Amino acid sequence: MRILLVSNFEGGFQPITVATALSALLQEDGMQVEVLDTYVEGVQESRFAEQDLIAVSIPLFDAVQAAAEVTKIIRRVNPQAHITFFGQHATINASRLAGTYSDSCICGEWEQPLVQLARYLNGDEDCSLEGILTGSGAREGQVVHPYMSRNHFTVPARHMLPPLHKYPQKQINKLLGSDQVVGSTEIARGCHHKCLYCSVYAAYDGKVLLVPDHVVLEDVRSLMAGGMTHLTFIDADFFNAKYHGIKLLRQIHQEFPQLTFDFTTRVDHVLENKEALAEMKQLGLKFITSALEFPSELVLDAVAKETSVSDIEQAVQFLRDTDIMLNPTFIMFNPWTNIDDLTSFRTFVEDNQLSDIIDPIQYETRLYLYKGSPLLRQPSIQSLDLTEHEFHYEWKHPDPEIDELFAEIVTVPEDGIFKRCCLKC
């Protein structure tokens, strides 16, 4: 059984979604598995030939269209291959992908369903295909419940992936003041919070699955062997697993005292965990990424953030006092702001001393209305002028002047990366 795992984009990091799938498949007898990361290695058409199963990872919205396009090439090069998708946005877009671009689509957690699919294609017809939407099922309107096992985690297999130095992180280098070899891992999947714009909520519906201690520790050791100098935890919110996380940080710091790290969390969690954050600072925490969205109560309420502008300002002040850098992200252009709000945003940045640390791309971010977004159920979104596309909707602001302003300033970053709220979107 010849299998190719394909990654197109995973936030500019070495693709852990593919590494976890690879780990599960390598434990099976008779599986010849290869990996292609088109983000680093390009679309190598010859790699698609003579494969029996080609599984394409789409963990992020940015990867969806690229994944759809690469399957067209796969079909041309190898029309006999079974194509499947896996990852967070495979769950969200299963009905749009299966049968149109692929033969199947894995919904929910992917490791075990991918193994079962490979066994089935290899002739074991008794295999369970739980969590897998077939092309015929999608055409018939079937709905597959996402696979959400809690006991399937294995140590990501990174030895077949491009080396870490192939994944430079410009914003991390800027914040830390030196070039870093950045690795990434996760201590949990999913998120307890239900922010309406968030694709983690769309895929996991408030569930959180903890990655066992030994899996995280072994992955960190593997990353260190690969030359890592700084570690990013890519969890949607590190404090979804507070005690799990700080226990792991203590163990990691004891074994690798020079290693620095960062993670993502909400401003209310910053305020609730001041003592823990002070300890984390001593363990190597350099900065926190936090989705501030927009400093407006109207915007925060519209996306069900359950935080306030006062929370944001208090958290910014605490992190400054504690000497933990903040890496803020925003949804600068959204349907609820007006021209005065955009003008006052500059004052907010200056008052909170954020001008030197904000990634310039954050001034250009625009709300993504991906299909499957819980926001699409909100009257404030339904009342907008929406243009439907295959995987998302374009929206027009009620004030055309704001859309004109966005069109004037928006640029495409050199590396093609659009940073948004967290590394799981």
Model confidence band, residue 415 (pLDDT cutoffs 50, 70, 90): low
**Phi/psi of residue 302, each to 5°?**
-65, -30
Query: Confidence band (pLDDT; 50, 70, 90) for 177?
Result: very high
Asked if 39 contacts 13 with a C-beta cutoff of 8 angstroms, the reply is: no
The chain-wide mean pLDDT, for the chain, equals 94
Q: How many Å apart are CA 226 and CA 220, to the nearest integer?
A: 10
Domain with CATH 3.20.20.70 in the chain: 166-409
Give residue 39's pLDDT.
95
Q: Reply yes or no on whether the pLDDT at 143 is more than 70.
A: yes
CATH of 166-409, one of 3.30.365.10, 3.40.50.300, 1.10.3110.10, 3.20.20.70: 3.20.20.70
pTM of the full predicted structure? 0.94
Span 2-139: which CATH code?
3.40.50.280
The pLDDT value given to residue 29? 87
240-244: long-range contacts, CB 8 A cutoff, minimum separation 24? 240/188, 240/190, 240/191, 240/192, 240/208, 241/187, 241/188, 241/208, 241/210, 242/273, 242/276, 244/187, 244/188, 244/210, 244/213
Distance CA 233, CA 135 (A): 35
Q: Tell me the mean pLDDT in the region 101-114.
A: 97
SS3 for 135? helix
82: alpha, beta or left? (left if phi > 0; alpha if psi -120 to 50): beta
As a whole number of Å, the end-to-end CA separation of the chain is 33
User: What is d(CA 391, CA 369) in angstroms, rounded to the nearest whole number?
Assistant: 9
- Tell me which DSSP letter residue 145 carries: P
pLDDT at res. 314: 97
Total residues found in the chain within this entry: 425
β-sheet bridge partners, residue 231: 183, 261
**Of 419 and 248, more confident:** 248
Residues of the chain with CATH 3.40.50.280: 2-139
For residue 305, give both structure tokens: 């953030």
Cα–chain-centroid distance for residue 402?
28
Buried b / exposed e over 93-111, threshold 16 CB at 10 Å, is bbbbbbbebbbbbbbbbbb
Confidence of residue 418 (pLDDT cuts 50, 70, 90): very low
| DSSP structure string for 84-133 | EEESHHHHHTHHHHBTTTBSEEE-B--HHHHHHHHHHHTT-TT---TTEE
In the structure encoding, which two tokens stand for residue 423, read together? Answer: 């590394």
Which of 229, 40, 238 is closest to 6 using CA atoms? 40
Q: How large is the average pLDDT for residues 280-304?
A: 96
- How many whole angstroms separate alpha carbon 142 and alpha carbon 132? 11
Contact assessment for residue 253 and residue 283, using Cβ atoms and an 8 Å cutoff: yes
Q: State mean pLDDT over 361-375.
A: 91
Q: What is residue 413's predicted lDDT score, i.e. its pLDDT?
A: 59
pLDDT at site 423: 59
